[in-house]
Amino acid sequence: MAVRLIESLATTGPLAEIFSDGSIVQAMLEFESALARAEAGLGIIPAEAAEAIVSAARSGGFDPDSMAEWANDTLHSGTPAMPFITALTARVRSQSPVAAGFVHWGATSQDVCDTAMVLLLKKAQPVLEAALHRLQEALRRLSDRHANTIMLGRTLLQPAPPITFGLKAAGWLAAVERSHARLNAAFDESLVLQFGGASGTLAALGDQGMAAGEAMARDLGLNLPDAPWHAHRDRLGALLCACGVLTGVLGKMARDISLLMQSEIAEAAEGIAPGQGRSSSMPHKRNPVGCTVTLAAAGRVPALISSYLSGMVQEHERATGGWQAEWPIIAGVIQGTGVAAASMSEVMTGLTVDEARMRSNLEATRGAVFAEKAMLLLAKKLGRDAARRIVEEAVSRGAQQNQRLGEVLAGMPEARDHLDASTLRDLEKPEDYLGVADEFRKRLLAAHSGIRPANKNNQQE
């Protein structure tokens, strides 16, 4: 399925296909087939009726014109299940009038809608999983490759003492892996069957409701919850919140890279593909396209999640307006998360790092970023307040006279009397002021080296 133009920056091809009309209908057909097979196996409906229903469901999707008419019918019935069941029943009736009476037996509209959405989520999980694994592998390579690549630290967007790019990449990686683990756990909880009938008791099936649910869950490759969850949306809420945190993590990376790509900084850049990053009016530009798409998702997804959480206050056994609002919200959040993960995977796989520029930007501070180091050295002799005054004066003189911090301090008796020549000479060596940066980097890489894999029972067959 081609991505709709209006969603071209909000999804990927595979995710657009998963949430397409045809895919949704197929998921609903899978529910009805599993229902018929389970009930026939328990003797609830005739085996011949189940065969006719399954045959009708297997005969392919409905034509686009028919599905287009369903939108109007959905507005009148309050659920897309009604026009779907009407169409499926008509198809079954054309083969077996008797079997048509057993379509959707004992289920309710929310059962088919909720389970269909869960089946779509089951298909979406491996897509997200693949993108995240590519991203994690790329970040691990970047961290190892640039373990000793020194760059400016930046706090409140201002130059700070040096760090390594390897540490920065490891920080990104650890945040992604923590979020990935939470996402997998949320998927594990969310991929459950919805089957409760009219009031969530499966009264229409007598004492065979539990057995029917167990058979359907096995058939669809879903987990069976303790009870139907028509008005309890916490599992899906937790999944969307996990997506929101992950998308925020991806957005943080995108913000960092887009800032490093500014021509005034020029320390890193997205890879170049034909036509990528072009401007319609400025041929010289190399725009951070992958970061832009990711940041757009990071701005859009939280509002969608807020809408979902607002709709969780659902009354009694079945809600009026709550779950009916969810389909576009869930689809939007999953696709937003997916396009952000895919975009950052591409960015980090092709990222170029300019080590010389990083060093040059560090040198351009004329040693001012080592003011903390100088202050602490002097504080041991003079106390912190006196040391701070001396270093602040030295930084100010250096800026006015275009001198390096070490040179200015060497010319100030109040500093020179307490710091020997070798200390002043080595003051601005960044390698000597990295603290335990590499230990932190290695700890971050080791802490999440084994992400718990997604539940195989929840993977797309």
Burial of 328 (0-12, 13-18, 19+ CB in 10 A): exposed
Using the Cα atoms of residue 336, residue 337, residue 342 and residue 345 in order, give the sign of their dihedral: positive
Burial 280-293 (b: 16+ CB within 10 A, else e): eeeeeeeebbbbbb
Amino acid type, 75: L
Spatial contact of 28 and 67, defined as CB atoms under 8 Å apart: no
And the tokens for 420? 């020997």
Spatial contact of 160 and 373, defined as CB atoms under 8 Å apart: no
| 23 is an active site residue | no
**Whole-number Å distance between alpha carbons of 327 and 7:** 16
**Whole-number Å distance between alpha carbons of 353 and 138:** 13
Closest by CA to 458, choosing from 232, 122, 144, is: 122
Spatial contact of 169 and 382, defined as CB atoms under 8 Å apart: no
Q: How many CB atoms lie within 10 A of CB 139?
A: 27
Q: How far is CA 251 from CA 106, 290, 296, in A?
A: 45, 11, 8
Amino acid type, 233: R
For residue 43, report the phi and psi dihedrals to the nearest 5 degrees: 75, 15
Q: Tokens 């967007």, residue?
A: 157
For residue 286, report the phi and psi dihedrals to the nearest 5 degrees: -130, 90
Q: How many helices (H) and strands (E) does the chain have?
A: 19, 4
- Of 8, 59, 66, 279, which one is the catalytic site residue? 279
Spatial contact of 142 and 355, defined as CB atoms under 8 Å apart: no
And the tokens for 247? 């998308």
| 318 is an active site residue | yes
Decide the pairing of beta strands 268-269 and 158-164: unpaired
Q: Which residues lie closer than 8 Å to 366 by C-beta, 6 or more apart?
A: 398, 399, 402, 403, 404, 405
- Of 37, 91, 140, 318, which one is the catalytic site residue? 318
**Whole-number Å distance between alpha carbons of 145 and 166:** 7
And the tokens for 93? 């009736």
State the DSSP string of 190-204.
H-B----TTTTS-GG
Catalytically annotated residues? 279, 318
